Structure 1
C-alpha cells in the first residue's frame, strides 16, 4: 500500500533528554521543585526538541516522550488500577480508569507548534498485559488475555481521541514480539492472544490520511520463524510495520519479505545506540535489496529504535542523535530525491 502521505523520514518517538530536564526531574523527585515547575521545564525542553526536528526534513515530529520516564508510563501515570510491584515494574490490581489523557493532549500540543505532522507513540495493550498481569497481586482480571482486552479498549479510545485532535500518525510498540519472531514464545501470553489483543486496539474505521504503525522489534533476530512473521504481519490491522534493518543480516530481509503488500514498511537503517555513523554505501546496498522486494512508495526509513526509551537511559548525546537523524534524512534523499 503506497504511503501517499509520505511519512517517509521517521523516528520512533523518544529523544535524548537534555541535561536541564534530567536535573529538573531529579529535583522534583527530591521535593525541591513543584509539579508545575517540572512541567515548565518539560515544556521548554519539548519546544526545543520540536525546533530541532523542524530544522531537519523529518516527516513526523514528536515531543521526544519527555514527559515520560518510560514507554509504559504514558499509561501508568494517567490510569488508576495499577500499582508498583515489589520487584519493580507495575501490576494491575483494580479496575482500570483513565484520569487524564494518555498522550492525546501531548501530541496535540506538538501539532500546534509545527506544520510537520505530529506523531503519537503508545505501548500496545498486549505489551502492557504481558507484563502487568499477576494473579498473586490480587488482580481483578482472570487472565492476562482478559487484562489485555480491557487495555485494548482503553488504548482504542485513546487512539480515537488522538485522531479527534487532528494527529494522523500513531505508533504502537510491542517489542515482546521479538521473542516469537526469533522462534520462541511470546512472554506472558500466547502469540494468538497477543495478536488478538493488539488487533482490538485498532479502530475499525479511520480517516484515509491516518497511518497506524506497530514496532515488533528493535533488534534483528538471530533467525526468523517464517510462520510467526507471516501470521503477525497479516493479522494485526495496522498500516505500517517498523522493522530493524541496519546490520545487513539475512533475518532483516526475511522480516521484510513477510510483510504483506497491503502494508507500508519503515526500515530502521541506523543504530541509535552507537555514536558512529553507518557507512552510506552499505546502507544503500541494503536499500537496493529492499527496493527489489517492495515498491519504493511502500517504504520509509528511520533509526531502528528510540534514542532514549527510558528517561535516564540514552546511549548517545544530543548532537550525536542529531547526526543520526541527518544520516537518515540523507539516505532518504538519495532514495527518493525531490519526491519526499
Structure 2
C-alpha cells in the first residue's frame, strides 16, 4: 500500500451477510438466541469477511456492516433524541426501495457513547491490517430525520448537531489508528442525476437547497479534525445502481457539488452506458475518484475488457493515479447475491486493478 493512500482496489464496507449470520439474526428476533449468541455469530462472520478481504488484496478491511441492523442503526442506536419511525415523505419516495429505516429527530441529539467503536475494536481483535469504517453522513441522516413540513432551519440544526457527533466519532477512529473512514450518502447520487433531479422537483424537493444543505453538514465533520497524515476521509455517493442515470447528470447541482465537496476521495458510479458515468472533468486534481464499475445487483460478471476500456476513458480526464476501481455500491442482503458471487465480483475488481497498477498492489 503506497504511503499516499492512493490505493486502487476499493470497496464500500457493506458485504453480503453469510447464511449463518442471517439465521442467527432471525433466531435472535424470535427470542431463540440471546445477545451473547448473536454477538458470537457476528464475530464469526466478521472474521470470515476479514479473511476474504485480505485474500482479495483490499488495502483496508471492514466488518461488512454485520453488527448493524440497518444502514442508520450505527447512529440511531448510540444517539438520543430520535423518536418514532418515519413512514413516507418526499425524500423516501425519491430513494424508493433503497430508502433505509428512518427515525424522526424530536429532541436535542446527544451521543451516549461511541458510534462505531465496538466495530473497530472487534476488527482489531482479528487483524492488524488497515481498517475501513463506514458511517452515514450527517447530511444524509439529517434529511432522513425530519417529518414533512419542517422548516429548513430545523433541518440545518439537525445536520449541524449530527456533524458534531459524527465528526467526533471520525476523530476517535482516526486517533485509534483506523486508516480510512467512508461517509455514505447515496442521496447525492439521486439528486445529482438528471432523472433524479426531475423526480425530486416533481415531489416538491428543492434540489439545489438539499445539495447545499447536505454539503454544509458533511463538510462540517472536517472542522477541527486532527488526524494522522495517512488517515483519509472519503465520501460515497453511489446508489448500487438504484438511481436512474440514463439521462446523465444535472448540470447545476453537479457543479455545486464539485465546487464545494471537500473530501480527498469520492466514490461514484461509472457504468457501461457512457452518458450514465459520473462526469470526471470537474473532479479537482489530487482527489481520488473511486469508479463503480462492477454492478452489485446482478450475479452476471462484467468482462475485464469492458472494465479496462472504461478505465481508459476515465484516465483521459484524470491522472491514472487519482483513480480507484470498485463496485457501484455496498453489498447487502437485498442485493440478492450469494457470498461466492460477491467474491467473484470483488475478484473482478482486483483483476482489473492489477492490469493497470500490478506492480503497486
| TM-score, scaled relative to structure 2 | 0.86
Q: Tell whether the 8 Å contact from 2:232 to 2:264 is kept in structure 1 after alignment.
A: yes
Aligned equivalents of 1:176, 1:202: Cα separation in 2: 20
Q: Tell whether the 8 Å contact from 2:175 to 2:227 is kept in structure 1 after alignment.
A: no
Shift in alpha-carbon separation, 1:135–1:91, aligned structure 2, 3 A: same
Once the two structures are superposed, residues 319-339 of structure 1 have per-residue CA deviations (whole angstroms, 9 ceiling, x without a partner) of 000001100000000011112
Do structure 1's residue 35 and structure 2's residue 35 form an aligned pair?
yes
Aligned equivalents of 1:76, 1:104: Cα separation in 2: 14
Do structure 1's residue 245 and structure 2's residue 258 form an aligned pair?
no
Aligned equivalents of 2:299, 2:354: Cα separation in 1: 22
Shift in alpha-carbon separation, 1:86–1:231, aligned structure 2, 3 A: closer
Classify the secondary structure of the residue corresponding to 2:321.
Answer: helix
Query: What is the aligned partner in structure 1 of residue 306 from structure 2?
Result: 282
Shift in alpha-carbon separation, 1:190–1:56, aligned structure 2, 3 A: closer
Once the two structures are superposed, residues 136-170 of structure 1 have per-residue CA deviations (whole angstroms, 9 ceiling, x without a partner) of 8xx99961111111111111001001101100201
Aligned equivalents of 1:104, 1:28: Cα separation in 2: 23
Do structure 1's residue 159 and structure 2's residue 170 form an aligned pair?
yes
Q: Single out whichever of 238-247 and 328-337 deviates more from structure 2.
A: 238-247
Aligned equivalents of 2:238, 2:176: Cα separation in 1: 28
Query: What is the aligned partner in structure 2 of residue 271 from structure 1?
Result: 295
> Which residue of the other structure, out of 175, 187, 197, is the alignment partner of 2:217?
197
Shift in alpha-carbon separation, 1:227–1:14, aligned structure 2, 3 A: same
Q: What's the offset of the Cα at 1:103?
A: 1.3
Classify the secondary structure of the residue corresponding to 2:316.
Answer: helix
Shift in alpha-carbon separation, 1:256–1:141, aligned structure 2, 3 A: closer
Q: Single out whichever of 15-24 and 139-148 deviates more from structure 2.
A: 139-148
Trace 1:41-52 onto structure 2 (pairs within 5 A).
41-52=41-52
Do structure 1's residue 92 and structure 2's residue 105 form an aligned pair?
yes
Aligned equivalents of 1:238, 1:116: Cα separation in 2: 23
Aligned equivalents of 1:141, 1:76: Cα separation in 2: 22
Q: What's the offset of the Cα at 1:197?
A: 1.0
Aligned equivalents of 2:152, 2:273: Cα separation in 1: 43
Query: What is the aligned partner in structure 1 of residue 156 from structure 2?
Result: 145
Aligned equivalents of 2:281, 2:265: Cα separation in 1: 14
Aligned equivalents of 1:140, 1:181: Cα separation in 2: 23
Query: What is the aligned partner in structure 1 of residue 337 from structure 2?
Result: 316
Q: Tell whether the 8 Å contact from 1:272 to 1:303 is kept in structure 2 after alignment.
A: yes
Q: What's the offset of the Cα at 1:108?
A: 3.7
Query: What is the aligned partner in structure 1 of residue 135 from structure 2?
Result: 122
Unmatched 5+ stretches in structure 1: none
Classify the secondary structure of the residue corresponding to 2:28.
Answer: helix
Q: What's the offset of the Cα at 1:272?
A: 1.1
Classify the secondary structure of the residue corresponding to 1:163.
Answer: helix
Q: What's the offset of the Cα at 1:180?
A: 2.4
Q: Single out whichever of 75-84 and 127-136 deviates more from structure 2.
A: 127-136
Aligned equivalents of 1:70, 1:152: Cα separation in 2: 20
Q: Tell whether the 8 Å contact from 1:243 to 1:266 is kept in structure 2 after alignment.
A: yes
Aligned equivalents of 2:318, 2:153: Cα separation in 1: 43
Query: What is the aligned partner in structure 2 of residue 326 from structure 1?
Result: 347
Aligned equivalents of 2:121, 2:359: Cα separation in 1: 29
| TM-score, scaled relative to structure 1 | 0.91
Q: Tell whether the 8 Å contact from 1:13 to 1:306 is kept in structure 2 after alignment.
A: yes
Aligned equivalents of 1:74, 1:140: Cα separation in 2: 26
Query: What is the aligned partner in structure 2 of residue 294 from structure 1?
Result: 318
> Which residue of the other structure, out of 327, 330, 338, is the alignment partner of 1:306?
330
